[in-house]
């Protein structure tokens, strides 16, 4: 199953989804990620992925147009906050488009511990959603 995960900056949620899918579900998933305004991978996303055994230190933020020549079974947007602007839509070759709203952990404020707590929650929620999706338990 080929999946393109998307959020605006391709810095947190879509990066976490791509990494989680390819790490835990590599037998059945080939995941990519991109955004409409790619920036850089958020260091806190890298940090919380490392906590669960995933090295995302070499990940880079990509534009969804980088995948226009690829075929996907699913494109999944992960935007969850209306203030983010327009959630990406992939106009390339895809069989189904889905939307899984998750809050942007990059918006978290407070101490480093509080911010990482938000990143961990979003990471764990994304992992749970992917697991249910891959196992067709939805």
Largest interatomic CA distance in the chain:
42
Number of neighbouring beta carbons within 10 Å of residue 18? 25
Active site residue 12: no
pLDDT confidence of residue 45 = 98
The catalytic residue among 8, 31, 78, 79 is: 79
Query: What CATH number has the domain bearing residue 25?
Result: 3.40.50.2300
The structure's pTM equals: 0.94
Number of domains making up the chain: 1
Condensed to tens digits (0 to 9), the pLDDT of residues 44-72 reads: 999 999 999 999 999 999 999 999 999 99
Using CA atoms, how far residue 5 sits from 44, 85, 113, 115, 117, in Å, is 19, 17, 27, 23, 22
Question: Which domain range does residue 121 map to?
Answer: 2-134
pLDDT single digits (tens) 69-104:
999 999 999 987 655 567 888 888 999 999 999 999
The continuous run of DSSP H or E covering 6 comes out as: strand 2-6
Q: Out of 52, 87, 115, 134, which one is annotated catalytic?
A: 87
Q: What is the spatial distance between Cα 6 and Cα 15, in angstroms, rounded to a whole number?
A: 8
Catalytic residue among 3, 7, 41, 76: 7
């Amino acid at each position: 199953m080929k999946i393109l995960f998307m959020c605006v900056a391709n810095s947190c949620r879509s990066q976490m989804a791509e990494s989680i899918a390819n790490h835990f579900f590599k037998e059945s998933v080939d995941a990519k990620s991109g955004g409409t305004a790619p920036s850089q991978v958020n260091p806190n996303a890298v940090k919380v992925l490392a906590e669960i055994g995933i090295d995302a230190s070499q990940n880079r933020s990509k534009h969804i147009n980088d995948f226009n020549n690829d075929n996907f079974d699913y494109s999944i947007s992960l935007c969850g906050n209306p203030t983010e602007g327009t959630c990406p839509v992939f106009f390339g070759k895809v069989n189904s488009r889905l939307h899984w709203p998750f809050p942007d952990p990059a918006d978290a404020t407070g101490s480093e511990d509080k911010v990482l707590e938000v990143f961990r929650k979003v990471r764990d929620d994304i992992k749970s959603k992917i697991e249910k999706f891959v196992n067709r338990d939805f």
